[in-house]
Amino acid sequence: MDPYAWQHRPPSPLRMDAHGAAQPERQHGPKEAVKAMIAQKRDVSYVQLALSLKRAQIQRLEAYAARRAATLQQAEETFEQDALEFDDFLRRNDEEVQEAVRQANEQARIRQDKVRASEGFQEARRQLFLPHT
């Protein structure tokens, strides 16, 4: 049976009083009164069934939302941890680059000193072996 069938049924014979409360219409005998009462009880049962279905659906959606929120929280924490690790990597990499540049500059200076010394020795050697005129 369709749990939403009550939504497609014609309304039971109720009328509204001055305060907005539903009152059964006056019937012409006990059979009609019993039928009206049964129809009203059926309508109430359908509404209660629909309400319980909606509550169950709300509970499922709330549980799903809680799981998604926990997943999102975990993803945010992982992202923050990864960002910290990446910042640390960048810092260490920058330090290594600076150290490599310093060492390269030091080796270039040493090489230049050796070249100057070699040029000085070559000049001294030429001076020694040049004929004096």
60-76 pLDDT, tens digit per residue, is 999 999 999 999 999 99
Residues 6+ apart with CB under 8 A from 46: 3, 5, 6, 7, 9
pLDDT at residue 129, as a whole number: 76
Low-confidence ranges of the chain (pLDDT < 70): 1-28, 131-133
Domain total of the chain: 1
pLDDT at residue 64, as a whole number: 98
pLDDT at residue 30, as a whole number: 83
pLDDT at residue 77, as a whole number: 97
pLDDT at residue 68, as a whole number: 98
pLDDT at residue 13, as a whole number: 56
Q: Where does 1-133 show beta strands of DSSP type E?
A: 14-16, 22-24
Residues 6+ apart with CB under 8 A from 25: 13, 14, 15, 36
Range of the domain at 112: 5-129
Q: Are 62 and 55 spatial neighbours (Cβ–Cβ below 8 Å)?
A: no
pLDDT at residue 20, as a whole number: 62
pLDDT at residue 117, as a whole number: 87
